[in-house]
Amino acid sequence: MLVDPVGIIGAGPAGVSAAMQLKRYKINSVIFEKRKIGGLIENAHRVENTMLFPNGIRGVEFVKILEEYARKYELNVIYEEAKKIKTGARIIVNTENGEYEFDYLIVAAGTRPRTLPFPEVKYHITEIEKCDNAIKY
């Protein structure tokens, strides 16, 4: 069983940013990612909702930056899907290959594409799913 202070579910922009900030403060974390770093942002034609790139940036280029930061900061990314979360004195994340224990858990699982109910429209929208195990501060 791997024991670290912080677990992070999702290696998209939010998950990678959280892990980078924790690393800067010398706090270990583990990121669980079921596919690849970047998540759905790779599909974005243009990312324009960040002040870091006032002229926008292609999604695939944004992902390259995230991958570079993951290497630079030596982020611990485990390419496994978090299947179950148990809370108690510590938080336990189960995957197909193991059980991981944390003091804190950040859920940065992103969005899920949802097809519009109009067959003639070739775009999709996303929604944020409700998490029953969310801790509110």
Q: Superfamily for 2-127?
A: FAD/NAD(P)-binding domain (3.50.50.60)
Domain ranges of the chain: 2-127
The alpha helices in the chain, defined as continuous H runs, are: 13-24, 59-72
Task: Read off the pLDDT of residues 8-51 as tens digits, 9 standing for 90 and up.
Answer: 999 999 999 999 999 999 999 999 999 999 988 888 888 888 78
* 95 CB-contact burial (10 Å; exposed 0-12 / middle 13-18 / buried 19+): middle
Task: Read off the pLDDT of residues 61-96 as tens digits, 9 standing for 90 and up.
Answer: 999 999 999 999 899 999 999 888 888 888 889 999
The pair phi, psi for residue 25, each rounded to 5°, is: -95, 15
Structural tokens at position 61: 């280029």
Give residue for tokens 């069983």. 1
Average pLDDT over residues 52-68: 91
The pair phi, psi for residue 61, each rounded to 5°, is: -70, -40
134, pLDDT greater than 60: no
Which pLDDT does position 113 carry in this prediction?
63
